[in-house]
Amino acid sequence: MLVVKAMELRKIDDYRWEVPKTGQMRVPGIIYAGESMIDSIKQEEAVKQVANVATLPGIIRASLAMPDIHWGYGFPIGGVAAFDWETGIISPGGVGYDINCGVRLATTLLTVKDVSGKLEELVNAMYRDIPSGVGSTGSIKLTYSEEKKVLKEGSKWALRHGMAQESDIEHTEDFGCMQNADPEMVSDKALERGLRQLGTLGSGNHFVEIGMVEKIYDEETARIFGLFEDQVTVILHSGSRGLGYQICDDFLAHMAKNINKLGFEIPDRQLACSMIQSDAGIRYFNAMACAANYAWANRQILMHRTRELFQRVLGTGPRNLGMNLVYDVCHNIAKKETHLIDGKKRTVCVHRKGATRAFPPGHELVCDKYRSVGQPILVPGDMGRASYVLAGTEKALAETFGSTCHGAGRVLSRTAALKKSRGRSIQRELEEKGIRVRWTGRSTLAEEMPEAYKDVSQVVDVVHGAGISKKVAKLKPLAVLKG
């Protein structure tokens, strides 16, 4: 295997750092980060991963990383890379194991005073009614034939079964369905894992959060998104569960076995890949779409259940609650997109791993309601600080293939977080801040402690300052269910 050495970073401006093109790199690397972040980023293996991705065939312009960058499998988390559709590669490591792990934000007509006496009951109801944790299963039991319909239809399957509103579909990226999904490309083992996990939260950093709009930065965009100060909101973070994990695992194993047949060297076996137009590349792309559709259906069903439990606990109806989906974005995906590159339109495969689409005002893929202001971007932080709503920009389309950050980004491994939390009560610390929390896994709260993550406000300041997305609103957590 060829070796790509860790690179020195060259400052481009206040928000961008270059990994210079050297050795086998086909393009440079560009990392979006502030001055206060860069020293810790330099210590990460993730910088080397940015350089590694730059060696892959068909890569266009640069290997990119957002300010929430940290080490991942093959590609860094926070990584973005576009490959020519005809001559480039597709890599499961550039998508991740949790295909279409993503976030949706729902607003309500309620203010904090409307729920202040019911938060304990609401978070307990979420803990009771929303299946969470490793291997959790839900009340939806699918047959294989029905599961394949979920894989083809995505969110629209939930709509057909009375678990969605038409506006939910409109306000979901790709309308909750990648059209190239082919269930025949999904292994029996992956199908088996997906039979009983639809409508479940999962474990680790997956969560449902009741919050409030703490601050508005852009009044007009916030109005169009349906946001106002002191408003009660719900953020939901989950993915494709065991089905998506298995699809990634299946194709990584196949591609790794055939590394020597690629016709080029890769610096890390975790970058196992296939040419997009090869049989393996097409099969992975179509299987990945199945997992993406499963994830969108999963989050839609979780939101439906959340609507129901809010109505039950608060003793109100759907009209008075007014829980509406602002948007649903995915974080781990490879998309066939058209971008203007060197003055010409080119079809590319954009890998976004721990990164979010950020399309600008006027873009044809932004739904009608938001086209005048740009696509909503949802950036959750840790459970003790804040989350943000942003909007897409033209500069993102020009510089990052319409991409931006996806969250805070870890600074401590799960093992390091467990060690740092010893002797502390994370639950009590959060409650002292007025945040109620429930969790399923034995070590979840310690692994997900706020200090395990970067300060999301610093991450958002970078992408806002760089102009690849703009701040719309800041949200504050009130109650959190962790997987």
Could you report the per-residue pLDDT of 191-216, keeping only the tens digit for each?
A: 999 999 999 999 889 999 999 999 99
Whether residue 8 has pLDDT greater than 90 = no
What is the distance between the terminal CA atoms of the chain, rounded to a whole angstrom?
39
What pLDDT was estimated at residue 423? Answer: 86
Name the band, by pLDDT with cuts 50, 70 and 90, for residue 159. Answer: very high
Place of tokens 């729920």: 115
Could you report the per-residue pLDDT of 116-148, keeping only the tens digit for each?
A: 999 999 999 999 999 888 888 888 999 999 999
Lowest mean per-residue pLDDT among 16-25, 230-239, 437-446:
437-446
Dihedral over Cα of 204, 93, 5, 65: its sign: negative
Distance in angstroms (rounded) separating the CA atoms of residues 187 and 190: 5
Name the band, by pLDDT with cuts 50, 70 and 90, for residue 253. Answer: very high
Distance in angstroms (rounded) separating the CA atoms of residues 182 and 273: 19
Whether residue 3 has pLDDT greater than 60 = no
Name the band, by pLDDT with cuts 50, 70 and 90, for residue 44. Answer: confident
What pLDDT was estimated at residue 150? Answer: 98
* Annotated active-site residue in 70, 171, 351, 406: 406
What pLDDT was estimated at residue 43? Answer: 85
- The answer to whether the CB of 221 falls within 8 A of the CB of 482 is no
Whether residue 112 has pLDDT greater than 90 = yes
In terms of DSSP H, where are the helices of 195-278?
219-225, 241-257
Could you report the per-residue pLDDT of 367-392, keeping only the tens digit for each?
A: 999 999 999 999 999 989 999 999 99
* Known active-site residue 406: yes
Mean pLDDT, residues 310-333? 97
What pLDDT was estimated at residue 133? Answer: 80
- The answer to whether the CB of 350 falls within 8 A of the CB of 365 is no
Which residues is 107 bridged to in the sheet?
233, 324
Name the band, by pLDDT with cuts 50, 70 and 90, for residue 7. Answer: low
What pLDDT was estimated at residue 276? Answer: 98
Question: pTM of the prediction?
Answer: 0.96
Mean pLDDT, residues 218-236? 98
Domain segments of the chain: what residues?
10-482
**b/e code 355-367 from CB counts within 10 Å (16+ = b):** bbbbbbbebeebb
Could you report the per-residue pLDDT of 418-466, keeping only the tens digit for each?
A: 998 898 999 999 999 999 999 988 788 889 998 989 899 999 999 999 9
Whether residue 16 has pLDDT greater than 90 = yes
Average pLDDT, the chain: 95
Q: H or E segment at 480?
A: strand 470-482
Q: Please state, for a pLDDT cut of 70, what percent of the chain lies above it.
A: 99
Fold held by 10-482: tRNA-splicing ligase RtcB (3.90.1860)
What pLDDT was estimated at residue 442? Answer: 76
Could you report the per-residue pLDDT of 322-338, keeping only the tens digit for each?
A: 999 999 999 999 999 99
What pLDDT was estimated at residue 172? Answer: 98
